[in-house]
Structure 1
Amino acid sequence: MSISVTFNSAHRIPLASAFFMARRPVVDRQQNLAAHELLFCNFFATAAPVAAPAEQPASASVLSDVYAHGLTRVIGDLTGILYIDIDALMSDIFQFLPPQNVVLEIATLRNPSPQVIARLTELGAAGFRFALVVNDDDEDVRKLLPMVESVRIDITGRSAADLGRLCAAFKAQQKRLLAERVETIEQFRMCLDLGFDLFQGYYFLNPEILEGRKISPSQQAITELMSLIASDADNADIEHSIKSHVSLGLNLLRLVNTPAISAHRIDSLRQALMVLGRDQLQRWLQVMLYAEPGVHGRSILPLMAQATTRGRLIELLAQKLRPGNRSFADTGFTVGIMSLMDTLFSMPMEEILKQIPVVEEVGEALLQRQGYYGKLLSLAEHTEWKTKNDAQLMQATRELNLSYNDLYMVQLAAFEWSDHVTRCMH
């Protein structure tokens, strides 16, 4: 069963609302993926210069779209944290949402009305869980605390002392703490020491370049095999290379015997090579590079999920923009999944490209974000919303003549594929 998207059929089911969506990773104290936070911004159809699209809580109509197209396609088997507005809170959309799969995130309300309190109580009784976005421990926050499971604190610009004061206050109320916008490993360690339970941010994407860093033996075996494929070596040489690294051969057989690859049992490397073909083998070797155990104390799964999402997203965008050009789409996948290898290897990208040969267009995209592949990679990075305001996202979609509907459908397929692959490789 291959997970894919058909654009013609997708366009027959247009979104009712015009929005962009970001799925931001949330990790636990062991740095394993624990949840996905979903944020939204309005899409402005004007061709004029745009204002930056600030993240906004989801309206009832947006939630309806997310539900209609499959919430599990967005969040997989993890928890989805939905940042919602008051109109959505008071709507009837929650009769369709599974309470066990979502946490409803709400901004602190000034003087919350009896109707809002009653609604929170009603939904809580139905099994829904709430997170409260807080800036301080004030009277309005205290009114809502009894009804929420956790609090979300944006750590931007806050000192350790200030954060420690808030953590102590909310821990005393037995609330789980989610640190928002953790962008460096130093910030993660600080929040870990302060007692935060969950961490949203992209600190794990930032490369820690280590002088003299060497690729591990298993990763070296994979890169050598990738070089053989790139040089158009004989199948016998490729098979011999795999057999000389037992763990690589076993992992490859395990991978090809998943539903995403083959519905029939594959027992030999020769058969696996025939089933996969060289292009697909190259793709799965790229994925397998991210299947190493934790790097420098970090869990690798969040990085793998992000890299495979980028790869699949760019592949599907390439397929959408240049239909029928399989080679173009395959190269797009390579650009996306290789874009985080500097983080994976703790090495400069220039050094990595000396060991893993790529065509000039791929190198330009990875090093300078130049060329058509560079534009696609930049768009994929913008969809991650590392900043609160990202006007570049809308600008990039206009330049590529993509609608918000196009992008959303591609994101759904990329999330679904990445989640499936990450589970298979774990």
Structure 2
Amino acid sequence: MNKNEEFAGVTVLFARQPIYDRQHQLAGCELLFRPCPRTEALTEPFDGDLATRQVLRNAFAHTDIRTVCEQTPAYINFTANALKAEIPFDPGDIVIEILETVEANDEVITAIEDYKTRGYTIALDDYRLKSANHPLLALADIVKLDYPQYSAEEFTSLVTELRHHYPHLTLLAEKIETQEDFLSCRQAGCDLFQGYYLARPSKVERERLPSEHFALLQLLAELNRIDANAKELAKTIDNDAFLKRELLNVVNSDYYSCRDKMTSASMAIDALGVRRVRNLASMLALSKLDDAPHSLQRLALNRGQLCQGLADHLGGEPISGFTVGLFSILGAFFKSSLEDIFDNLPLPAVLKEAILEQRGIMGLMLATTLQLEQGNLDDLDWPALAEYGLSPDKVSQAQQRAVENSDAFL
């Protein structure tokens, strides 16, 4: 059996790591892949040289790569061997990331020059040198600087040197974990930023949440009450003028194509269902926060949809996966710890335990969502997932569905 045949019938899991520009706008996504047999997870790490082309094709058998990356380029790792294979995507769809382990020999240089001639963008991954002397810099369009490997002085000095010798380069700071990291790299002169800093709260010293934030949190809690019926949900929405207006604008849009014009939350619930309206209303409520970047809202939406997609395979649960995913990221929206936020809200214990301690079945769904979100594909707890009937194939299906739902949600 050759390698393409070996991977022709497997499930492919992927993770997206967003890349942002200086204004927090999405500028691309790094895509990570792991092929899994349909019956059980791989027991050995994925060798990046194995059937790259076939794996990529399988990953996007049902969802195109532009949709997965929200209409931005996909950054994909390439080994020296992978550079020899034909790429099944157009130049505008992907950025070829040359791994740091690739030796700059004549064969590799020839391959890169050929791709550049055909219009592909080339990035150097995990740049850790202290100076601008990498042999492939002249061929690169983007350099991904491994930020944690440098002191503040070393990083600024390297950026300055790269700018001087290779002014055409786009400089991307990767592994940015905090807002402080982002600000430091932006000040140094970087153009793009990759990491999880948007999902973590900024350090803000204050004694209590502002009153408008507290009111918004109470609204979110009311929208996501476990015991709320359709009538109560409709009343909560109709009592908030902003939320009612925005919800009706969305449900009356061409996307939903409702036969009759919706004039109340009750009508929207009848047409779309309680869960869909609750999820939509929760995201619209968060849009009240003027200082929350749009990319953070998208990240919250993606997390909620993926957590819900996984939970859909479990049958009826008292709390929705979307609520668990959404509430797990509220700290970044309100610039406060989740513990402080939850102390102010009448939330059910099962929701708090799932988010704060990742306990219970919904805690497992959130933990799986976060592992997928962060690219920790080798750390998924397959034995625990199997206990609830979640095979690699079902997890992959949840990923694909979450991407499609998120793309149409807002």
Bucket of the pairwise TM-score, normalised by the shorter protein? 0.7 to 0.9
Of the three residues 229, 249, 252, the one matched with 2:247 is: 252
Give the Cα separation in 2 of the matches to 1:240 and 1:118: 65
How far apart are 1:222 and its partner, in Å?
A: 7.4
Task: Determine the structure 2 residue equivalent to 1:286.
Answer: 282
Task: Determine the structure 1 residue equivalent to 2:403.
Answer: 415
Letter in 2 for 1:331: S
5+ long unaligned stretches in structure 2:
1-6
Bigger RCO of structures 1 and 2 (CA < 8 A, at least 6 apart): 1
Give the Cα separation in 1 of the matches to 2:47 and 2:333: 29
Task: Determine the structure 1 residue equivalent to 2:323.
Answer: 334
Give the Cα separation in 2 of the matches to 1:31 and 1:193: 14
Does residue 367 (structure 1) correspond to residue 356 (structure 2)? The answer is: yes
Letter in 2 for 1:145: L
Query: Secondary structure of the residue that 1:212 maps to in structure 2?
Result: coil
Sequence identity of aligned pairs in percent?
26
Q: CA deviation digits over 1:316-363, x for unaligned, max 9?
A: 21222x2xx3x4286222111111112212233344335544333222
1:314·1:329 contact (CA, 8 Å) conserved in 2?
Answer: no
2:38·2:393 contact (CA, 8 Å) conserved in 1?
Answer: no
Please list every run of at least 4 consecutive aligned residues from structure 1 whose deviation after the TM superposition is greater than 6 angstroms: 44-51, 137-140
Does residue 168 (structure 1) correspond to residue 160 (structure 2)? The answer is: yes
TM-score (normalizing by structure 2): 0.83
Give the Cα separation in 2 of the matches to 1:132 and 1:225: 43
Does residue 78 (structure 1) correspond to residue 75 (structure 2)? The answer is: no
Letter in 1 for 2:279: R
Does residue 201 (structure 1) correspond to residue 195 (structure 2)? The answer is: yes
2:15·2:375 contact (CA, 8 Å) conserved in 1?
Answer: no
Task: Determine the structure 2 residue equivalent to 1:24.
Answer: 17
Task: Determine the structure 2 residue equivalent to 1:7.
Answer: none
Task: Determine the structure 1 residue equivalent to 2:268.
Answer: 272
Using a 3 Å threshold, how does the CA distance of structure 1 residues 365 and 259 change in structure 2: closer, same or farther?
farther
How far apart are 1:131 and its partner, in Å?
A: 0.6
Using a 3 Å threshold, how does the CA distance of structure 1 residues 215 and 106 change in structure 2: closer, same or farther?
same
Task: Determine the structure 2 residue equivalent to 1:214.
Answer: 209
Q: CA deviation digits over 1:271-309, x for unaligned, max 9?
A: 3343244433322222223323453xxx53232222222
Give the Cα separation in 1 of the matches to 2:273 and 2:210: 26
How far apart are 1:221 and its partner, in Å?
A: 5.6
Question: After the TM superposition, which residues 372-383 of structure 1 pair with which residues of structure 2 at under 5 Å, given as runs?
Answer: 372-383=361-372
How far apart are 1:150 and its partner, in Å?
A: 0.6
After superposing the two structures, state which structure 1 stretch, 60-69 or 399-408, moved more. Answer: 399-408
How far apart are 1:410 and its partner, in Å?
A: 1.5
Q: CA deviation digits over 1:199-220, x for unaligned, max 9?
A: 1000111123643343564883
Give the Cα separation in 1 of the matches to 2:236 and 2:389: 44
Give the Cα separation in 2 of the matches to 1:55 and 1:335: 34
Give the Cα separation in 2 of the matches to 1:333 and 1:396: 20
Give the Cα separation in 2 of the matches to 1:397 and 1:85: 32
Of the three residues 129, 150, 154, the one matched with 1:136 is: 129
Query: Secondary structure of the residue that 2:17 maps to in structure 1?
Result: strand
Task: Determine the structure 1 residue equivalent to 2:3.
Answer: none
Task: Determine the structure 1 residue equivalent to 2:293.
Answer: 300
Give the Cα separation in 2 of the matches to 1:30 and 1:228: 31
Of the three residues 82, 86, 93, the one matched with 1:88 is: 82
Using a 3 Å threshold, how does the CA distance of structure 1 residues 46 and 154 change in structure 2: closer, same or farther?
farther
After superposing the two structures, state which structure 1 stretch, 272-281 or 300-309, moved more. Answer: 272-281
After superposing the two structures, state which structure 1 stretch, 279-288 or 150-159, moved more. Answer: 279-288
After superposing the two structures, state which structure 1 stretch, 60-69 or 208-217, moved more. Answer: 208-217
What is the root-mean-square deviation of aligned Cα atoms in Å? Answer: 3.5
Task: Determine the structure 2 residue equivalent to 1:38.
Answer: 31
